[in-house]
Amino acid sequence: MMNAQPLQEDGALEERMFALGARARAAAVTVRNAAPEARTAALVAMGERLREAAPAILAANREDVARAKDLAPSFVDRLRLDEARLEGVARAVEEIAGIPDPVGAVAGAWTRPNGLRFERVRTPIGVIGIIFESRPNVAADAGALALRAGNAVILRGGSDSAASVAAIGTALRLGLQDAGLPEDAIQIVPTTDRAAVGLMLGGLGGAIDVIVPRGGKSLVERVQAEARVPVFAHLEGICHAYVHAGADPKKAVAITLNGKMRRVSVCGATETLLIDRAIAPVLLPSIAAALTEAGCSLRGDEEARGLAPMKAAAEEGDWRTEYLAPILSVRVVPGLEDAIAHIATYGSAHTDTIITEDKAAAEEFLRRVDSAIVLHNASTQFADGGEFGFGGEIGIATGRLHARGPVGAEQLTIFKYVVRGDGQIRP
Amino acid sequence: MMNAQPLQEDGALEERMFALGARARAAAVTVRNAAPEARTAALVAMGERLREAAPAILAANREDVARAKDLAPSFVDRLRLDEARLEGVARAVEEIAGIPDPVGAVAGAWTRPNGLRFERVRTPIGVIGIIFESRPNVAADAGALALRAGNAVILRGGSDSAASVAAIGTALRLGLQDAGLPEDAIQIVPTTDRAAVGLMLGGLGGAIDVIVPRGGKSLVERVQAEARVPVFAHLEGICHAYVHAGADPKKAVAITLNGKMRRVSVCGATETLLIDRAIAPVLLPSIAAALTEAGCSLRGDEEARGLAPMKAAAEEGDWRTEYLAPILSVRVVPGLEDAIAHIATYGSAHTDTIITEDKAAAEEFLRRVDSAIVLHNASTQFADGGEFGFGGEIGIATGRLHARGPVGAEQLTIFKYVVRGDGQIRP
């Protein structure tokens, strides 16, 4: 097992990180070639080992929390584990054990006139580097999901959660051993030295295939700026609810309220309400009242403020802001075209919904808004791998390659082509 | 229309390149939202415009060839166009018009217990930057394939082919206009200034979603080292033919000979022959004789050289070399495990084939060799988008994300999730 001790010398750090990468790469081959049952057994065993290790993990977590006592309460809250939270972590890992194993699944098959039979077969990506911040449960979630898809992982948590993550990592690695899989398939970076992150972003000499940053905007931006390997990045969720003239009033109120206020700190929270001029006079007052009553602070454009009481005027910057707080910007628009244009200009291509009973308008919106997730008559808070039926997610991708939206086990695979012939040569 | 004139001032270059990127980004939205028929019509019109412009394109090409007269004959041959080659270029574009339009295709659909209906719908990547070397036909091939998938492209050819590429670009842009699509969906970088490549690798302020380098190893390495946006890279094809103990002798000779010698300069050419010790004494002499007679120079390990006459001894470096020439390295291996291990150590995860009548051995090879393309009883030269039935390819990807193997129209798309509800809110 590894210790969370800082390494002092740069040369030693680089050497140790590269060795760690090489062990992950070797383990990735074993994990990829193992039977699906072995991966499932490891995930089940990890859940058991997490429960068994609860006293050790909670003791480690108390150390972390004690060290963090001067930090913001919200930060400490994310860091803190208790028995109930840890039980949730163990159960999440067991749920991931129940996700169908994607490795070897045939995603397409066809035969060519020359008799060659083609299959497109899912195969693990390889080694996934995960760089995360304060929540120690990410180590278990992300490690388990990566393993479900046949990958090895290198996990690097924030220095504030180092003891917790090390203890969780020990339990996960014991679970791998229980199932006869190499414990090196889950590596915890054994140092809080920030230079280790830089080395991971360099790919550890080809050992890392993709980096997944999980944390705030500054972490993601640093990773995107410095990474020399591909990144699954989720930058921000500036999500819109667009109330079209043909909206059902009850649905409009319920979906806007839920989209904003169910949880304000998630990336799928609604940040801007767009509402058609034709319906705003009759509908905006009740939407605004419901939101205000729920504790939401509204920032409207001039027309919106003329229709309902609002806390403040929306400025240009508001349309570009992911509040992650009980604040909603509100804009009255002339119609569908303008709503689509607003989203294209100010949105982050994450999640956007239209509320209307007009099917043609809904289909136009769904077709033309090019966000990772577009919804009709449903809350933006459904932007979540669990709600999609993926059984878990490692994050929500807003890039334009490989994966978009919730990144579940299937999105942690790539494919290869298997071609079966009987002696074909190319003319 | 654009001119292929170098821009003198750095500030002016950056400004002009960013403006070009912004125009491509705007055109990408129009192209994405256009009807599939409009994209098809544009491709058909491009073919016609290429034929119509033949005199102008061939005149431009003569200028390029005249300027390149002191370069290597093989380089000048790749650069040169004639009527037959240009007709081939036009026909390739028309064939791409016949590929099913992937935009809007539903790649998956499911319903959740709460009634939400999910669809995974293909959508264009956006703006693709293509950096290529001497062959001017890449401008037409790559531009057409990107458009088939609803993307805009920014094309940057080598300075030696600037006049040819500019003339081809003019024809392609006229084809877009003919179909009522914005000509800015195909942009030819109007300068031979190398700094333009650096600007493209920086993404032109977010205007470029992915870079595709098409050229030699040094170009691909530069792009991978410098790019700040994702890259579809094809580094090299160190492809293996493995003759297993259970191989049919005729197939073994035919597939090895075809894999190596059909065309030695393609990335799918076989570079190393692995042969089982059990069958090498009876089979290697005839394989070696067929190859030698076809003009191939063999470099064998000691055991191989003891069984058949070979030109040279294979050294460690040979196993890592993509010859792209009539040279083949040959190694005798104890069996399947060793063949798989050799490929894992020295291969480039591009294309590898096993020749055997033993189905279990074949399946083991197909499962465990984690290359983009694995074949059984077929030539490695089938590594080609056309042979896969893709109707064209923009290259062969050897990375681990998004696309692997031939990159056809479908691989030039990403997906979004379309979610239809009737008022669902998240509990």
> Tens digit of pLDDT for each residue in B13-29?
999 999 999 999 999 99
Q: DSSP secondary-structure letter at B368? A: H
Whether residue B420 and residue A376 make contact (CB cut-off 8 A), yes or no, is yes
Instruction: Return the pLDDT at A44.
Output: 98
Q: What is the pLDDT averaged over residues A116-141?
A: 95
Distance of CA B38 to the CA centre of its chain: 26
How far apart are alpha carbons A403 and B416 in whole angstroms? 9
- Residue B123 near chain A (CB below 8 Å): yes
pLDDT at B148 over 80: yes
Instruction: Return the pLDDT at A7.
Output: 45
Instruction: Return the pLDDT at B2.
Output: 39
- The length of chain A in residues reads 427
CB atoms closer than 10 angstroms to residue B217: 12
**CA of B250 to nearest chain A CA: how many angstroms apart?**
9
Closest chain A residue to the Cα of B350, Cα to Cα:
A416
How far apart are alpha carbons B294 and B267 in whole angstroms? 19
Please write the tens of the pLDDT for every residue from B316-368: 999 999 999 999 999 999 999 999 999 999 999 999 999 999 999 999 999 99
Instruction: Return the pLDDT at A125.
Output: 97
pLDDT at A123 over 90: yes
Lowest mean pLDDT among A66-70, B54-58, B287-291: A66-70
Residues 43-102 of A with CB under 8 A from B: none
Whether residue A425 and residue B378 make contact (CB cut-off 8 A), yes or no, is yes
Closest of A380, A371, A323 to residue A345, by C-alpha: A371
**CA of A224 to nearest chain B CA: how many angstroms apart?**
8
- Residue A404 near chain B (CB below 8 Å): yes
Reported ipTM: the value is: 0.93
Closest chain B residue to the Cα of A386, Cα to Cα:
B112
Lowest mean pLDDT among A103-107, B229-233, B304-308: B229-233
Q: Strand order of the sheet with strand A373-378?
A: A312-313, A297-300, A327-333, A270-276, A239-243, A351-355, A373-378, B413-424, B117-124, B106-111
Q: What is the 3-state secondary structure (H, E, C) of A126-186?
A: CEEEEEECCCCHHHHHHHHHHHHCCCEEEEECCHHHHHHHHHHHHHHHHHHHHCCCCHHHE
Instruction: Return the pLDDT at A235.
Output: 76
- Residue B317 near chain A (CB below 8 Å): no
CB atoms closer than 10 angstroms to residue B91: 13
- φ, ψ of residue B421 to 5 degrees: the values are -130, -175
C-alpha R_g of chain A: 24
CB atoms closer than 10 angstroms to residue A104: 16
Instruction: Return the pLDDT at B274.
Output: 98
How far apart are alpha carbons A413 and A392 in whole angstroms? 15
Q: What is the pLDDT averaged over residues B79-84?
A: 95
How far apart are alpha carbons B354 and B371 in whole angstroms? 13
Single-letter residue type at B358: D
Residues 343-382 of A with CB under 8 A from B: 344, 362, 366-368, 370-379, 381-382
DSSP β-bridge partners for residue B106:
B121
Q: Which two tokens stand for residue B104?
A: 């809007």
How far apart are alpha carbons A39 and A28 in whole angstroms? 12
Q: What is the pLDDT averaged over residues A242-253?
A: 98
Whether residue B388 and residue A125 make contact (CB cut-off 8 A), yes or no, is no
Q: How confident is the model at residue A391 (pLDDT cuts 50, 70, 90)?
A: confident
DSSP β-bridge partners for residue A341:
none
Instruction: Return the pLDDT at B4.
Output: 41
Instruction: Return the pLDDT at B10.
Output: 61
Q: What is the pLDDT averaged over residues A57-64?
A: 97
Q: What's the start-to-end Cα distance of chain A, in Å? A: 56
- Residue A239 near chain B (CB below 8 Å): no
Whether residue B401 and residue A373 make contact (CB cut-off 8 A), yes or no, is no
CB atoms closer than 10 angstroms to residue A314: 21
Q: How confident is the model at residue A10 (pLDDT cuts 50, 70, 90)?
A: low
- Which residue of B369, B388, B416 is the best one to mutate when testing the A interface, meaning the one whose CB has the most A CBs within 10 A? B416
How far apart are alpha carbons A334 and A263 in whole angstroms? 30
- Residue B30 near chain A (CB below 8 Å): no
pLDDT at B71 over 50: yes
Closest chain B residue to the Cα of A370, Cα to Cα:
B416
Q: What is the pLDDT averaged over residues A223-231?
A: 89
Q: What is the pLDDT averaged over residues B134-147?
A: 93
Single-letter residue type at A266: V
Which domains does chain A carry? 10-232+408-417 (3.40.605.10), 239-386 (3.40.309.10)
**CA of A257 to nearest chain B CA: how many angstroms apart?**
9
Decide if B236 contacts B321 (C-beta within 8 A): no
Chain A partners within 8 Å of B222 (Cβ):
none
Size of interface A-B (CB pairs under 8 A): 190
Please write the tens of the pLDDT for every residue from A329-384: 999 999 999 999 999 999 999 999 999 999 999 999 999 999 999 999 999 999 99
Closest of A287, A233, A224 to residue A260, by C-alpha: A287
Whether residue A367 and residue B33 make contact (CB cut-off 8 A), yes or no, is yes
Whether residue B402 and residue A401 make contact (CB cut-off 8 A), yes or no, is yes
Closest chain A residue to the Cα of B250, Cα to Cα:
A423
pLDDT at B7 over 70: no
Instruction: Return the pLDDT at B317.
Output: 97
Closest chain A residue to the Cα of B345, Cα to Cα:
A26
How far apart are alpha carbons A294 and A212 in whole angstroms? 35
Chain A partners within 8 Å of B116 (Cβ):
378, 382, 387
Q: How confident is the model at residue A1 (pLDDT cuts 50, 70, 90)?
A: very low
Please write the tens of the pLDDT for every residue from B390-427: 988 898 998 899 999 999 999 999 999 999 999 999 99
Whether residue B209 and residue A401 make contact (CB cut-off 8 A), yes or no, is yes
Q: What is the pLDDT averaged over residues A253-267?
A: 96
Whether residue B382 and residue A426 make contact (CB cut-off 8 A), yes or no, is yes
Q: What is the pLDDT averaged over residues A59-74?
A: 92
- Residue B425 near chain A (CB below 8 Å): yes
DSSP, collapsed to helix, strand or coil, labels residue A287 as: helix
Instruction: Return the pLDDT at A4.
Output: 41
- Residue A32 near chain B (CB below 8 Å): yes
**CA of B175 to nearest chain A CA: how many angstroms apart?**
24
Whether residue A401 and residue B400 make contact (CB cut-off 8 A), yes or no, is no
How far apart are alpha carbons A26 and A21 in whole angstroms? 9
pLDDT at B112 over 50: yes
Decide if A269 contacts A235 (C-beta within 8 A): no
Q: What is the pLDDT averaged over residues B280-291?
A: 98
> Which among B372, B401, B423 has the least Cβ separation from residue A416?
B372
| Cβ neighbours of residue B113 closer than 8 Å, sequence gap 6 or more | none
Closest chain A residue to the Cα of B116, Cα to Cα:
A378
Q: DSSP secondary-structure letter at B317? A: G
**CA of B374 to nearest chain A CA: how many angstroms apart?**
5
- Residue A250 near chain B (CB below 8 Å): yes
Closest of A172, A128, A120, A170 to residue A149, by C-alpha: A128
How far apart are alpha carbons A173 and A180 in whole angstroms? 11
- Residue A210 near chain B (CB below 8 Å): yes
Task: Tell me what the pLDDT averaged over chain A comes to.
Answer: 94
* CA dihedral sign, ordered B163, B167, B173, B177: positive
Decide if B231 contacts B321 (C-beta within 8 A): no
Instruction: Return the pLDDT at A215.
Output: 84
β-pair type (B413-424, B117-124)? antiparallel
Q: DSSP secondary-structure letter at B245? A: T
Decide if A28 contacts A78 (C-beta within 8 A): no
Task: Tell me what the pLDDT averaged over chain B comes to.
Answer: 94
Distance of CA A226 to the CA centre of its chain: 20
Decide if B348 contacts B237 (C-beta within 8 A): yes
Share of chain B above pLDDT 70, in %: 98
Share of chain A above pLDDT 70, in %: 98
How far apart are alpha carbons B29 and B247 in whole angstroms? 53
Please write the tens of the pLDDT for every residue from B187-243: 999 888 889 999 999 999 999 999 999 888 888 888 988 998 999 877 789 999 999
Closest chain B residue to the Cα of A128, Cα to Cα:
B400
Instruction: Return the pLDDT at B225.
Output: 86
CA distances from A414 to A123, B294, B376 (A): 5, 38, 21
pLDDT at B131 over 90: yes
> Which among B344, B379, B421 has the least Cβ separation from residue A424?
B379
Instruction: Return the pLDDT at B5.
Output: 46
**CA of A102 to nearest chain B CA: how many angstroms apart?**
14
